A and B are shown apart, each in its own frame.
Chain A
Amino acid sequence: MKARNALLAAFTLSTLATAVQAADEVVVYSARIDELIKPVFDLYTEKTGVKVKFITDKEAPLIARLKAEGANTPADLLITVDAGNLWQAEQEGVLQPVKSEVIDANIPAQYRSSTGSWTGLSLRARTIFYSTERVKPSELSTYEALADKNWEGRLCLRTSKKVYNQSLTATLIETHGAAKTEEIIKGWVNNLATDVFADDTALLQAIDAGQCDVGITNTYYYGRLHKQQPDLKVKPYWPNQQDRGVHVNLAGAGVTKHAPHAEAAQKLLEWMTTAEAQTIFAGVNQEFPANPAVEPSAEVAAWGTFKADSIATEVAGKRQAEATMLMDRAGWN
């Protein structure tokens, strides 16, 4: 009896503790790192008094945790840095559809889930970067053309294990079909100047140092590096402007299926699509706001405007496994 009372007391205490916290807060699982989301949350707390608690990790473990916790999850919102992962989270059934006029008005349909389960918050262009010393922009045209013989020994790529490359390949498959895509990827692999890199920053530094002449990376890595080294001998090029446009991925978020504070989470998500939040969310990492009414930061705007691929970002998720297998077959490690 005594033991039962003690246990009961323990449970009551733990319940009380959660009840007190639960008043005005949103709990977030985030694959976007602390310093890239905290400023946004801080502003929200300042404005509304709603506290935002979060932990960061990679997407796959976070989704696994959401699944395992099921109805008991403390999480209200899942933030990822890639559309494929959002799509996957939706497939795994850990997100819930949200109907929101605010989001529909702020974010173009191609950057949202067709079921309303998630929405993009910032755009991340994955484009071609070239050495200003050894390459003339006129030599460049499309992603596909990097498979041509004249780039042999001049191309640098990041590992195929990175989801950004898997998404890029997924859109190639969607556009060209698997056979043609495999040919292109084999061409790229054949043109490699050195082993693939573990991250985009190292790749840009390799172009700068002369190890290779062209490469494909996300623009914000360039933005960060350029800030530190204004004399960087590397520039972005916007490929495929005559056809489908530059490959664009996105960071985004969705309300979890069993969100304890679903309403508060939706409010936060809606606010994150507004101009005020978009400026910071994209600005802290030199990304492009997903809300087209919001201007990118001055640094980002300086890279010029471009036509973005209008393919639905969901494709990245649907074809990710297929894309990865294709890259494996083509020898892209």
Chain B
Amino acid sequence: MAHPAQRRWYPIVFVVVLLVLLPLSVLLFSWHEVDQQIWAHLWQTQLLRLIGNTLTLVLGVGIGVTLLGVSLAWLTSLCEFPGRRWLDWALMLPFAIPAYVLAFVFVGLLDFAGPVQTLMRECFGSGLRLPRVRSTGGVIIVLVLVFYPYVYLLARNAFLAQGKGLMEAARVLGLSPWQAFWRVALPMARPAIGAGLALAIMETLADFGAVSVFNFDTFTTAIYKTWYSFYSLTSATQLASLLLLAVMLVLYGERRARGAVRPTNERPRGKALYPLKGLQAAAATGWCVLVFTCAFVIPMAQLLVWFWQRGRFDLDERYTALILHTLYLGAMAALITVSVALLLAFARRLAPTRLMRSGVSLANVGYALPGSMLAVAIMLAFSYLDRELVIPLSSWLGGAGKPLLLGSLSALLLAYLIRFMAVAYGPLENSLARIRPSLPEASRSLGVGGPRLFFTVYLPLLVPGVLSAALLVFVDVLKEMPATLLMRPFGWDTLSVRVFEMTSEGEWARAALPALTLVLVGLLPVVGLIRRSARRIGED
């Protein structure tokens, strides 16, 4: 039974869950009528292949981001090798590159007609060819390169927070660095890695932009096809609700796998544990530099070339407005989403009842829906509210009876909140879990409670988590396309809208200007925050 003090948290969580459930219920209500012709067609010609494709993609991306994210995080946080200090934050930079941008850069660069293969044909004749670029492997590589930072960031924070004593104890007990990694550090970082992995998988499931550049059919592309080509928004929402079910399974699995491991918060280390020498050091540097080059240097270089060839002619004063809109939306959304996610995380910690746990999990599912589907669901929900609530209320008050929600800035920010809640919640819950209950208990016994307890005890310890969460949401909002397209108020074009307009016309080279601007705008907070957030103590 819930304690009365715990019940105080219920209304807050209830409101948030209601907000998230509103659009989701639009998806569920879509099942009131089923278009048998479309379903029969999908079943006969599409679904099995699509499910196979999607599973392959999720598996490939899941393995890839875990390998990359964990290995890089381990190297940069616990070892010492040449270049580690700048690679430590540089490896976070690819996060600023939207998946659809990396996809069109990758295909544009490496496909048959692209510069690389053209050069190869000129030098070696037409016999020599790269393996097919627009293939399953190609999509997986691209998605791994854009999504690994989720795992990297969270695993790195976890490794850093594990503290010196633990690994030294492992060493004293005779474990080699390798054994210490497998038997101590990795199991303890598992919740963080799981959270990062879950985010990467949800992104993969929801991705439409990158897979369509490769023309790789997934469950999500089928949703769009059903909507755009069969004109059946109903069947599309039905498919989306199935996807949602899959995501809930992923989230449930992540929770189960997390098990009883409790993250700790030891004092961070001053010096690196494992100074690498010789070949080992070279391999470590090489691996980090390789990933950084593929995920960031090469795409940026290609974008710069395209910018110089075509994009610079489009640069005009309108870009000031585009950048300002983008920054404003990102900052506002980060502020709102992190605040609400923090409330949820506290609610779950302080009132860990069954009801609360399910409520909080529900509040996080918005992330995995394809952006357009969620955008449409939110739009339908808002227009319903406008119709049923706002307009009658306004008329009753003697107003004009005009809709207020749809097409307003607040509606767009609410859409971001619903979509990116999980992004903010993961890191926050993780860093909150590292604060032992004994700490606030001790504070309370010393008479520190309420807001003071939050601001003097919790918040300072939560800063790295809050910064990570804000950074993730901010950059995700910058990159977000479908909801922004559908729900932005008049005149609120952003950089991602501009990228959409160019790529929808197949003008990749001209999309380089907004894409490049987008990455640069996203980089500022990434660099700033990563350097401040979890740097090792004793370093500047």
Contacts and interface: CB of A to CB of B under 8 A. Distances in A.
Interface in B489-528: 490-491, 493, 497-498, 501-502, 504-508
Interface stretch (B1-9, B162-170, B294-302, B391-399): B391-399
B229 A166 contact: yes
Interface string B52-95: 00000000000000000000000000000000000000000000
A34 interface: yes
B387 interface: yes
Contacts of A196: 215
A171 interface: no
Contacts of B229: 161, 163, 166, 320-321, 324
Contacts of B438: none
Contacts of A88: 231
Nearest to A5: B397
A69 B406 contact: yes
Nearest to A327: B229
A198 B228 contact: no
A197 B485 CA distance: 24
B506 A68 contact: no
Given A11-B400, A35-B501, A55 B227 contact: no
A163 B227 CA distance: 12
Nearest to A210: B126
B486 A61 contact: yes
Interface string B151-172: 0000000000000000000000
B404 interface: yes
A65 B379 contact: yes
Nearest to B484: A57
A79 to B, nearest CB: 14
Given A70-B387, A195-B215, A198-B213, A8 B376 contact: no
B221 interface: yes
B380 interface: yes
Contacts of B310: 228
B410 interface: no
A64 B376 contact: yes
A206 interface: yes
B230 A60 contact: no
Interface in B460-489: 482, 485-486, 488
B369 to A, nearest CB: 14
A198 B498 CA distance: 19
B112 A60 contact: no
A175 interface: no
A198 B215 contact: yes
Given A209-B113, A210-B126, A328-B45, A53 B490 contact: yes
A14 B507 contact: no
A200 to B, nearest CB: 6
A297 interface: no
A34 B402 contact: no
B228 A161 contact: yes
Contact of A58 (B45, B132, B228, B403): B228
A33 B113 CA distance: 26
A8 B397 contact: yes
A81 B471 CA distance: 38
Interface string A155-198: 00001010100100000000000000000000000000011111
B230 A206 contact: no
A232 to B, nearest CB: 11
Interface in A212-265: 221, 224, 228
For A33, A55, A320, A333, which residue has the most chain B Cβ atoms within 10 angstroms? A55
Contacts of A12: 399-400
B372 interface: yes
A45 interface: no
A201 B375 CA distance: 29
A211 B113 contact: yes
B212 A198 contact: yes
Contact of B380 (A54, A68, A209): A68
Nearest to A224: B507
A15 interface: yes
A75 to B, nearest CB: 10
A44 to B, nearest CB: 17
A68 B399 contact: no
A56 interface: yes
A283 to B, nearest CB: 16
Contacts of B230: 321, 324-325
Nearest to A8: B397
Nearest to B504: A33
Contacts of B118: 209
Given A68-B379, A196-B215, A200-B506, A34 B493 contact: yes
B101 to A, nearest CB: 14
A86 to B, nearest CB: 12
A11 B213 contact: no
Given A33-B501, A61-B376, A195-B134, A11 B486 contact: no
B326 to A, nearest CB: 16
A196 B221 CA distance: 15
Interface string B101-145: 000000110011100011001000010000010110000000000
For B380, B400, B488, which residue has the most chain A Cβ atoms within 10 angstroms? B400
Nearest to A36: B505
B215 A333 contact: yes
A329 B45 contact: yes
A214 to B, nearest CB: 15
A21 B531 CA distance: 47
A4 interface: yes
Contacts of A329: 45
A33 B504 CA distance: 9
Nearest to A197: B215
B402 A18 contact: yes
Contacts of A56: 485, 497, 501
A132 interface: no
B319 interface: no
A55 B488 contact: yes
B359 interface: no
B177 interface: no
Contact of A55 (B134, B404, B490): B490
Contacts of A57: 485-486
B46 interface: yes
B357 interface: no
A177 to B, nearest CB: 19
B41 interface: yes
Interface in A293-325: 320-321, 324-325
Given A59-B228, A324-B225, 18 more contacts: A8-B398, A12-B400, A15-B399, A54-B490, A60-B228, A64-B380, A68-B379, A72-B383, A72-B387, A72-B403, A161-B215, A161-B225, A195-B132, A198-B215, A320-B231, A329-B45, A333-B215, A333-B217
Closest 9 pairs (CB-CB, A-B):
A11-B399, A199-B506, A15-B400, A209-B113, A201-B506, A68-B383, A205-B113, A33-B501, A324-B229
25 contacts: A11-B399, A11-B400, A14-B399, A14-B400, A15-B400, A34-B498, A60-B227, A60-B228, A60-B233, A61-B375, A65-B486, A68-B380, A68-B406, A69-B383, A88-B231, A91-B231, A161-B229, A163-B228, A198-B214, A198-B215, A205-B113, A224-B507, A320-B231, A321-B231, A321-B232
